Amino acid sequence: MKKFKSLTGSEKLAILVMSIGLEASKEALKGLKPQEISKVIVDVSRLGKIPKETVTQVLEEYHKLMTTSNETVAGGSEQAQKMIASLGADQDTDQINTLIKKNTALSIFEEFQQTKTSNIADFLKNEHPQVIALVFSQLKSDKAAQLLATFEKDVQAEIMNRLVVMDEISPDVIVEISEVIQENFGFMSIEGEESVSGTTMVAQILNNTDQEVEENILTSISKVDEDLSVQVRDQMFLFTDILKIDKDAMQAINLEIDKADLAKALKGQTTELADKFFNNMSGRAAEMIQEDMENLGPLKAADVKEAQQNIIRKIRDLEAQGDIVLNADEEDFIE
């Protein structure tokens, strides 16, 4: 059982619901959307027995006192099914059951990502490229990139060509594949990723691959559909795209990135790109990085690419946190 500090909001609500009983649960769940209810019920099914100490902490957080004398509260699949039955006519229980199946399936993919890449590759090596593409669609981009590198070039292209044209995937398909994964690996944990378009998934994966794989995939996609290839390229953030970033964002980026990564990442790059970094930091800091670059000597292309990817990931993190804005047009701002 996870410690109180590591519990998610959904898990805390599940513990609260378990502690107050099925009848009172209807009030606790009233007003929640079916998707939110399904998350809580999945957690009820998964958590099992909760120590009294954890229950007390949850109740205290919600500013309530624990009124039961039991040392534990009971979860599990049977308790979850009773909870669904108790919701009554006000809730679409069929929809909630469907969402529970989907959330449970996605949770299996989340745990699947913690498995060694080599083990996943062995599991998928004899599968049809369409099945492999479906699995890729549920993995985080960095894990999918590692996995992609284990396949031959022609298989890489086949997988990405199928992934790039994927729309929203049927929950039934996700459930079916997750059941096969669980049968082979035997785990279940927490909720998975939200769905995104095929072109976005491919772009995110290619942002984490080496240049050879990247070019192989993009060339392959362009042979089938040039427009899709352009869409993927448009959604990829390339190291040279840093030239488009404004001064304020560059200064924020320079404060956050690892200077050792920067020294490696700028090896072999244009003076214009290097100056984009150097002109937005102190003169002394720029001199130190240039000295580091000279001292590094020749570097493997893979090492340079890795350093560039580290910087790109940091830039994406800063953008996601709202600390910088990328590709902002003038019309996005009001004087």
| CA-CA-CA-CA dihedral for 21, 73, 192, 98, to nearest 10 | -40
Answer yes or no: do 210 and 125 share one domain: yes
Most confident of 33-42, 59-68, 76-85, 230-239: 230-239
- Is 138 a residue whose pLDDT tops 90? no
Q: What is the CATH number of the domain that holds 57?
A: 1.10.220
Domain housing 249:
239-328
Final residue belonging to a domain, choices 91, 126, 143: 91
CB-based contact 189:107 (threshold 8 Å) = yes
Answer yes or no: do 127 and 212 share one domain: yes
Q: What is the CATH number of the domain that holds 318?
A: 1.10.220.30
Give Cα separations from 65 to 5, 40, 267, 319 (angstroms): 19, 21, 62, 42
Q: Is residue 16 part of a domain?
A: yes
pLDDT of residue 228: 87
Q: Give the integer Cα–Cα distance in Å for 12 and 16.
A: 6
pLDDT of residue 38: 60
CB-based contact 154:122 (threshold 8 Å) = no
pLDDT of residue 287: 95
- What DSSP state is assigned to residue 66? -
pTM of the predicted model, to two decimals?
0.46
pLDDT of residue 30: 59
- Tally Cβ neighbours within 10 Å of residue 185: 16
Answer yes or no: do 25 and 75 share one domain: yes
Name 164's Cβ contacts closer than 8 Å, sequence gap at least 6: 198, 199, 201, 202, 221, 225, 228, 232
Answer yes or no: do 86 and 126 share one domain: no
Q: Is residue 100 part of a domain?
A: no
Q: Is residue 223 part of a domain?
A: yes
What confidence tens digit (pLDDT) does each residue in 185-234 have? 644 333 334 445 678 878 888 877 777 788 888 888 888 888 888 888 87
What confidence tens digit (pLDDT) does each residue in 231-280 have? 888 788 888 889 989 999 999 999 999 999 999 999 999 999 999 999 99
- Tally Cβ neighbours within 10 Å of residue 125: 11
Answer yes or no: do 80 and 138 share one domain: no
